[in-house]
Amino acid sequence: MTDQNNSSNPILVQNFRGGIVESFHRGSFCVVDERGEVLWSLGDIKQVSFPRSALKYFQHIPFLLSGGFDALGFGPKELAIMCASHNGEDMHLSVVDDVLKMVNLKQDYLQCGAQQPTRKSDYIRLIQNNQEPTCMHNNCSGKHAGFLAHCVQSHHSISDYLSPLHPLHTAIKAVTAQFYEMKEDELSVGVDGCSAPIFGMPLYNQALAYKNLIAPMPWKDEALDAACKRIVHAVTQFPELIAGTKRYCSDLMRVTRGRIVGKTGADGVYCLSIPQKKWGIAIKVDDGKMGPQYQIAHGILCALGLLLPHEIEALKTHGHCENINFAGNTVGYSDIVPLNCPL
């Protein structure tokens, strides 16, 4: 886990106000190539952390391999919402509802907990309509709907679908160990914010997993390779479902038209796959602040020359972020520390 007394990780993002650095964020990142060798890293890449929602791209591989996903008639749109950490916008709720309807379940079966929609406008609309946020608005509701659909199709119990001993999660754990290149008993085990089991591993292995998602590997048979390709296709075909309006994941995959695959995770995690290069990238912000990981991702992609000029321009607000106060005035900004890429 994160060493609270370790200040060896470099400062990667700085917050400026009045011409001085007011605060900063330390972190680490790792870039690996097709062979799993480290191309570039900063900070402690052996540090163990939980990928949180960055694990979602792997959690539905067992469902795809089982044949149950196709038997239910699901397609890339449903797969995208299962992999999402969404805003709780109408477009997200609609697809989650479609998934549940396909297995004749109501939202009451979701055990992820109610959560306010990410966007203030969506939350205000709920209040104006005398409605409360529900489990459907939870950013992980698509994942949970996918879990339930998998259980129904596989004839597993659904009341205890979040138990770490449930067949659903023993299958997910096996896939996690495979893609993150660890033994199952080496994985740290915890409970995610949505109450699902979550597994932890060094940052280096998190980069490996995102490389393994898009690179050919000796242990990937035809079915497993096809499942990976379907996930990448789904999230890049429907980037707006993965996160939502003005979110980095959605903007990145929309602007780059699938040349770069990204996924956020809570507590300052961000992971990327670079299909053309067959590279994997993992980022962790020490203090868990959400936001700096996107700035770091943007800085890394720019430093590696992976973004075209018009893409840099389109994504610039995710790299250089203005600090706007309640009166609407710009009072400062945050930016990534310049990175010296060795490649």
3-state secondary structure the chain: CCCCCCCCCCEEEEEEECCEEEEEEEEEEEEECCCCCEEEEECCCCCEECCHHHHHHHHCHHHHHHCHHHHCCCCHHHHHHHCCCCCCCHHHHHHHHHHHHHCCCCHHHCCCCCCCCCCHHHHHHHHHCCCCCCHHHCCCHHHHHHHHHHHHHCCCCCCCCCCCCCHHHHHHHHHHHHHCCCCHHHCEEEECCCCCEEEEEEHHHHHHHHHHCCCCCCCCCHHHHHHHHHHHHHHHHCHHHHCCCCCHHHHHHHHCCCCCEEEEECCCEEEEEECCCCEEEEEEECCCCCCHHHHHHHHHHHHCCCCCHHHHHHCHHHCCEEEECCCCCEEEEEEECCCCCCC
> With pLDDT > 70 as the criterion, what percentage of the chain qualifies?
98
Across residues 231-239, what is the average pLDDT?
98
The pLDDT value recorded for residue 8 is 86
Q: Work out the pLDDT band at 210, boundaries 50, 70, 90.
A: very high
pTM of the model: 0.95
Q: Work out the pLDDT band at 194, boundaries 50, 70, 90.
A: very high
Q: Work out the pLDDT band at 6, boundaries 50, 70, 90.
A: low
Strands of 197-202's sheet in order across: 48-49, 197-202, 188-191
pLDDT greater than 80 at residue 2: no
**Measured distance CA(251)–CA(235) in Å, rounded:** 12
Across residues 142-152, what is the average pLDDT?
98
pLDDT greater than 60 at residue 203: yes
**Measured distance CA(341)–CA(207) in Å, rounded:** 17
pLDDT greater than 80 at residue 149: yes
Among 1-5, 34-38, 188-192, 330-334, the minimum mean pLDDT is found in 1-5
Place of tokens 């509802």: 97
Tens of pLDDT, residue by residue over 122-140, are 999 999 999 999 999 999 9
Q: Work out the pLDDT band at 7, boundaries 50, 70, 90.
A: low
Q: Please, which residues bridge with residue 28 across strands?
A: 284
pLDDT greater than 90 at residue 5: no
CATH code assigned to 11-336: 3.40.710
Query: Is-contact 12 285, C-beta < 8 A?
Result: yes
Burial 203-222 (b: 16+ CB within 10 A, else e): bbbbbbbbbbbbbebeebee
pLDDT greater than 90 at residue 334: yes
Q: Please, which residues bridge with residue 323 across strands?
A: 332
Where are the domains positioned within the chain?
Answer: 11-336
Tens of pLDDT, residue by residue over 255-299, are 999 999 999 999 999 999 999 999 999 999 999 999 999 999 999
CA 236 to chain centre: 13
Across residues 77-84, what is the average pLDDT?
98
> What average pLDDT does the chain have?
96
Structure tokens at 311: 């893409």
Q: Residue 94: CB partners within 8 Å, gap ≥ 6?
A: none
Place of tokens 């996930």: 231
Type of residue found at 289 = K
